Amino acid sequence: MTTKEQKKILDKYYRIYNNTQFIEKDPISIPHRFVLKQDIEIAAFFAAIFAWGQRVTIINKCNELMALMDESPYQFIIEHQEIDLKRFLHFKHRTFNATDALYFIAYLKEHYQQHDSLEQAFTKHLRKKDSNMKQALIGFQEDFFALDFAPDRTKKHIATPARNSTCKRLNMYLRWMVRQDEYGVDFGLWKNIKMSQLLCPLDVHVERVARNLGLIQREQSDWQTVVELTNQLKKLDAQDPVKYDFALFGYGVNEKYIL
């Protein structure tokens, strides 16, 4: 399939699935409940980290967590007392348990005591010459677990390119925070990361459709596969390659016939 043919197909489905009517049944619905920038960042972060398994379950668990944070995640993170943390002792989503939740809260409190946005957690490691977010993701993961009491078991929830992970959930989170267009799905809150530096979140649906379109040749599914896919998408839109995540994921989940 030629690049022109790939672009025609993906442009078509980008416009179909980059649509606010799909928000309700997607984890991105969780941050869309909020207005304050920090609330959006925190809600989106947990929604992205929880995003494996059935979307209904993911959304339900995110709603449960937001309720535990009194529907004001930023205020809770900043102002909570030790006694307030007891309510998380029975929280669980798949392999994410109370130990993980409590450490995430501790990291976020530490960060927000020094910065007004989670953007700085990524941009502090991002160099002007970087074509993608690799170094930022590596640095973020290292900083996230820099607290003295970081549990070993929690490290599996924050992926890193240093371990050749696809970093699907973090790449999705970055898409939500950085991308901006007129369609209102992604938030575009963060202004110091270029859309061209984002990487396409790679899950089974995206990978299947991308391989069918000839966008991936690599046999494995790892960090290099993510880079390969994103570089191919840059041939279709150099400034905003990850917009095609809408097309690849949306088609993979919703369409019944093979391209």
pLDDT digits (tens, 9 = 90+) for 47-88: 999 998 899 999 999 999 999 999 999 999 999 999 999 999
pTM of the model: 0.96
Please give the average per-residue pLDDT across 174-190, as a whole number.
97
- The domain segmentation of the chain, as residue ranges, is 3-254
Q: How far is CA 123 from CA 80, 118, 162, in A?
A: 27, 9, 17
Give me the percent of the chain exceeding a pLDDT of 70. 99
pLDDT digits (tens, 9 = 90+) for 204-254: 999 999 999 999 999 999 999 999 999 999 999 999 999 999 999 999 988
Residue where the block lists tokens 């991105």: 28
Give the Cα separation of 250 and 257 in Å (integer): 13
Q: Is the pLDDT of residue 256 over 90?
A: no
Backbone angles phi, psi at 221, to 5 degrees: -120, 95
Confidence of residue 128 (pLDDT cuts 50, 70, 90): confident
Q: Strands (DSSP E) along 47-119, which ranges? A: none
The HSE-up count of residue 98 (CA atoms within 13 Å, CB side) is: 8
